[in-house]
Amino acid sequence: MKKFILFLFLSACSLVAAAREDFPRVIPALQTWEGAKGRLVLPQSGRITVNDAALSDAAAILAEDLSVMFGMDYEVVAGKARKGDISLSLSDADAEYGDEAYRMDIGSAVSIAAPSSKGAFWGTRTLLQMLHNQPEGLQKGETLDYPSYGWRGFMIDVGRKFFTMDYLRQYVKIMSFYKMNVMQVHLNDNGFVQYFGNDWNRTYSAFRLESDRFPGLTARDGSYTKDEFREFQKMAGRYGIEIVPEIDVPAHSLAFTHYNPRLAADNKEYGMDHLDLYKPEVYEFLDTLFAEYIAGDDPVFTGPYVHIGTDEYNLKEAEQFRHFTNHYIEYISGFGKTPVVWGSLKMMEGKTPVNVGKCHVNAWNYGWTDVGTALDEGYGKVVNLCDAYLYIVPAAHYYHDFLENRMLYEEWMPENMDAGDSDAASGNENFAGAMFAVWNDHVGNGISQQDVHFRTFPALQVMSEKLWRGDNSGAVPFNEFDALCKTVPEAPGVNLAAKVEGCVEVTVPDSVLVLAGSDTVVTSVPEIGYPYKVEFEICPDAEPAVDAVLFRGPHSELISNWHGTGKFSFRRDGYEFVFHDFRLPAGEWTRIRVEGDHKGTSLYVDGELAERLEGRRHDVYNQARNRIDSIWYQETLIFPLGRIGDPHMGFKGKLRNVTAEHAGVR
């Protein structure tokens, strides 16, 4: 009997393993798969057929991505599919699974049918991943695939750290490739006053949008024009992403009180980043500001949602805070938009009514408002953005520098918050899903856009799995999932992590480049990401150029003879970092190696470590809390390689044997 039971157990394990092996490997995993015999090798040139003009965008993006990823040449045509084609079609057959569902059949051709163009588009993302992961040919079979949760999101704080529009557009493509569908853009915020001498007037603040109604309000160190923000949202829509723009009030509002100090709370105990909830002038200002972006026939905020903030105001003003919150829920709704708020009313208890049924809520903290309470209070939709599990604050030494991906994969579900599970969320139609967030609290700490990406991309992969597929840990152990994550690209044509395979000879071995200060050599490698080592031999002229560009990439540059001192420095994201412990001798050859990872950057000279830039800390006195706080500087570098030299400020001297080696993918 025991042998028979053991046989059944082993047989069951074998069936599970076989089923797991049969499923095509994609992220997020497919909901269903019915395999068939054989493989389909798509031709290098072919057709994408569509049965409805609504599918034109999805087909055009797919054709472009096939070219970028695989060098395939596919044209989009209307009509019926034939052998070897990829066909996209609208069909109501699977409408019961929602408008993001799709059915893909792989036989003599690839057929993707969906109730909506968005569902069909998600099917093309699966197809691209399958083509990447199955170079020997596509597994034949059929999948009916659909998301477990409708709101699958990522929030990025661009208020405290500026991210270029190019970065945001690339992140749309990354999110789309993993079927994430909501990006919340936090457009204004400010630093912490203790890092600016406990002086609110000196404390960093920024509002990132162009404003005609309030000239001078827009941040000078990085902003978005109205037109480019409109186009960004339209581009995101083509990729299945809803942009939720956020103007955060009445706290986190130092950018507005810097612009007009009369808007600040009269009670100085609250801090200058608090708007005064009693002044008519505040409401007039905000009514005008919001209307600038949501009013008219061609509003700047093109989508259905507008986030109005409403978090972390002083608890003494609960009643007036509730009045303020209700005013802007009603005001935004009056323009036909759905307001979104940070959950605060559990903490801000009072008698003043708030019409929460008209808005969606980010349940961000169990104390301020948890998922279960938000559902009980009747918000339109509830999204879990639990700070304890889902907040990244780079290099801040609180919350998470990196999310706990194994825990999230194996133990967490989107209904879970830090103080327990919310039984109310399970099966509740008003529970929409979850998001994770990156907050750039420590303004000026040297963090780069790519440093942020290094943290958010692995989190995005695991969140996409949990929000689309749900719990898959019983079928695919975390180690297998994580291994797959390391092999799947960021998105077609996107490589923010600057992965480079193996060791690359950037210049011809033993060939000497002679640069006269105005020469530029274009290489085949734009940049190389963590962890890496870059080596080169260098001989500056006897009178070397000052602050000379030695290497330049898409995001950074390496400088020789910094300020005429012979020192190396590098610049990126508005920061400059200097290796102070070594001076490059003029007129002689020196072997240099630079090694970088997500913690810092090392300079080696003739095989010996000359200096490591890592761990520099700045301690400050926090007057409000009577304690010492610290900021840790991030002296990191994604090494620039795309161009050697510069036509105006280039290196003068000789260079040879430039090599770059990427030691891993994370």
DSSP 557-577: EEEEEETTTTEEEEEETTEEE
Domain boundary among 145, 175, 192: 145
Query: Do 223 and 326 share a domain, yes or no?
Result: yes
The mean pLDDT of the chain is 95
Query: Do 61 and 198 share a domain, yes or no?
Result: no
pLDDT at 33 over 50: yes
pLDDT at 475 over 70: yes
Q: What is the DSSP letter of 275?
A: B
Query: Do 374 and 450 share a domain, yes or no?
Result: yes
**Chain segment 87-120, per-residue pLDDT in tens:** 999 999 999 999 999 999 999 999 999 999 999 9
Query: Do 476 and 520 share a domain, yes or no?
Result: no
Task: Identify the CATH number of the domain in which residue 209 sits.
Answer: 3.20.20.80
Q: What are 141's two structure tokens?
A: 């079979």
pLDDT at 5 over 60: no
Query: Do 478 and 533 share a domain, yes or no?
Result: no
Q: What does the alpha-carbon distance between residue 418 and residue 421 come to, in Å, rounded to a whole number?
A: 8
Of the given ranges (7-16, 400-409, 634-643), which has the lowest mean pLDDT? Answer: 7-16
pLDDT at 248 over 70: yes
pLDDT at 477 over 60: yes
Banded pLDDT at 529 (limits 50, 70, 90)? very high
Cα angle 16, 21, 27; round to 5: 110
Banded pLDDT at 72 (limits 50, 70, 90)? very high
Q: Which residues contact residue 79 at a Cβ distance below 8 angstroms, ignoring those fewer than 6 apart?
A: 49
- Residue 87's domain comprises 25-145
Cα angle 626, 263, 328; round to 5: 105
**What is residue 553's predicted lDDT score, i.e. its pLDDT?**
98
Residue 336 falls inside a structural domain: yes
Average pLDDT over every residue of 156-171: 98
pLDDT at 604 over 60: yes
- Give helix 226-238 / helix 165-177 axis angle, nearest 10°: 10
β-pairing, 381-384 vs 431-438, is parallel
**What is residue 20's predicted lDDT score, i.e. its pLDDT?**
54
Residue 347 falls inside a structural domain: yes
Residue 122 falls inside a structural domain: yes
Alpha carbon of 260 to those of 208, 223, 254, 310, 616: distances in Å?
17, 19, 10, 20, 36
Q: What does the alpha-carbon distance between residue 498 and residue 92 come to, in Å, rounded to a whole number?
A: 41
**What is residue 418's predicted lDDT score, i.e. its pLDDT?**
80
- Residue of 292, 290, 321, 322 whose CA lies nearest to 306: 290
Cross-strand bridge partners of residue 393: none
Domain boundary among 115, 145, 175: 145
Residue 453 falls inside a structural domain: yes
- Residue of 587, 583, 601 whose CA lies nearest to 639: 601
Domain boundary among 145, 176, 205: 145
Cross-strand bridge partners of residue 110: 86, 106
Task: Tell me if 185 sits within 8 A of 156, measured CB to CB.
Answer: yes
Helix ranges (H only) for 213-259 are 226-238, 254-259
Query: Do 423 and 315 share a domain, yes or no?
Result: yes
Query: Do 329 and 193 share a domain, yes or no?
Result: yes
Query: Do 227 and 289 share a domain, yes or no?
Result: yes
Q: What does the alpha-carbon distance between residue 310 and residue 179 come to, in Å, rounded to a whole number?
A: 29
- Residue of 509, 560, 518, 521 whose CA lies nearest to 538: 560
Task: Tell me if 379 sits within 8 A of 430, measured CB to CB.
Answer: yes
Within a 10 A sphere around the Cβ of 15, how many other Cβ atoms? 10
**Under the phi-then-psi rule, with left for phi > 0, alpha for psi from -120 to 50, and beta for the rest, what region is 513?**
beta
Task: Identify the CATH number of the domain in which residue 66 sits.
Answer: 3.30.379.10
- Residue of 31, 176, 47, 23 whose CA lies nearest to 110: 47
Query: Do 422 and 562 share a domain, yes or no?
Result: no
**What is residue 206's predicted lDDT score, i.e. its pLDDT?**
98
**What is residue 423's predicted lDDT score, i.e. its pLDDT?**
74
Banded pLDDT at 422 (limits 50, 70, 90)? low
Q: What does the alpha-carbon distance between residue 238 and residue 117 come to, in Å, rounded to a whole number?
A: 10
Q: Which residues contact residue 59 at a Cβ distance below 8 angstroms, ignoring those fewer than 6 apart?
A: 48, 50, 76, 88
pLDDT at 17 over 50: no
Number of folded domains that form the chain = 3
Instruction: Please state the length of the chain.
Output: 666
Task: Identify the CATH number of the domain in which residue 567 sits.
Answer: 2.60.120.200
3-state secondary structure at position 609: strand
Q: What does the alpha-carbon distance between residue 243 and residue 153 come to, in Å, rounded to a whole number?
A: 10
Task: Tell me if 113 sits within 8 A of 120, measured CB to CB.
Answer: yes
Query: Do 164 and 113 share a domain, yes or no?
Result: no
pLDDT at 324 over 50: yes
Residue 3 falls inside a structural domain: no
- Residue of 94, 87, 138 whose CA lies nearest to 116: 94
**E strand intervals along 107-217:** 110-114, 138-145, 151-157, 182-186, 188-190, 205-207
Q: What does the alpha-carbon distance between residue 359 and residue 19 come to, in Å, rounded to a whole number?
A: 43
Query: Do 445 and 534 share a domain, yes or no?
Result: no
Residue 12 falls inside a structural domain: no
Q: What does the alpha-carbon distance between residue 413 and residue 50 come to, in Å, rounded to a whole number?
A: 37
Residue 20 falls inside a structural domain: no
Query: Do 29 and 123 share a domain, yes or no?
Result: yes
Q: How far apart are the first and last CA of the chain?
A: 49
- Residue of 176, 57, 163, 159 whose CA lies nearest to 117: 57
- Give helix 449-464 / helix 478-485 axis angle, nearest 10°: 130
Residue 72 falls inside a structural domain: yes
**What is residue 619's predicted lDDT score, i.e. its pLDDT?**
96
3-state secondary structure at position 90: strand
Alpha carbon of 569 to those of 159, 512, 560: distances in Å?
27, 23, 7
